């Protein structure tokens, strides 16, 4: 964005739902600390394990914030987070890239929540249950948008 590289920090739960998104220009320990503090502040309880890639900034930040937390960096363990990134990338292509980090932060924070509402795990549901959940999502959307 604007000739500078920006990094998208994302937190995803065990169901693949986006919990939090943060756009930053760095990938160091300070950036990881900022992301984890923002993430944990919004949670009602602390997680018992965190799965990340092998970036050392994660380990340093987690050791400082919560040294007793289990931190897993095994290969393929973070696939859920990588796969949930695909709708974001598709929307970014449609918008012809983001113009600024602020715009990206505002849009992606909202896009993640809306995507959680409408993305159903279709392969786990019967057609009837899928229709019920889909209709419930549209009712919720109508209430939120006052449509």
CA atoms within 13 Å, Cβ hemisphere of 139:
6
Residues 6 or more apart from 146 whose CB is under 8 A from it? none
Structure tokens at 123: 């392969």
The reported pLDDT for the residue numbered 103 is 79
Q: What is the pLDDT of residues 125-144, one digit of tens each?
A: 788 888 888 888 888 888 88
For the chain, which residues score pLDDT lower than 70? 81-86, 88, 93, 95, 122-123, 147
What topology does CATH give the domain 7-145? Nucleotidyltransferase; domain 5 (3.30.420)
Residues 6 or more apart from 79 whose CB is under 8 A from it? none
pTM for this entry:
0.67
Spatial contact of 25 and 47, defined as CB atoms under 8 Å apart: no
The reported pLDDT for the residue numbered 122 is 66
């Amino acid at each position: 964005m604007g000739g500078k590289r920006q990094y998208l920090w994302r937190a995803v739960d065990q169901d693949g739902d986006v919990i939090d998104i943060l756009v930053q220009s760095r990938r160091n320990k300070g950036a990881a600390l900022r992301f984890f503090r923002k993430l944990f502040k919004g949670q009602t309880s602390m997680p018992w394990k965190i799965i990340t890639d092998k970036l050392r900034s994660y380990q340093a930040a987690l050791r400082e914030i919560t040294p007793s937390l289990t931190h897993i960096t095994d290969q393929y363990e973070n696939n859920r987070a990588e796969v949930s990134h695909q709708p974001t990338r598709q929307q970014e292509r449609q918008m012809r890239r983001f113009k600024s980090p602020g715009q990206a932060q505002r849009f992606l924070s909202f896009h993640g929540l809306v995507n959680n509402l409408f993305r159903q795990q279709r392969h786990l549901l019967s057609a009837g249950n899928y229709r019920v959940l889909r209709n419930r999502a549209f009712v919720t959307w109508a209430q939120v948008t006052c449509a």
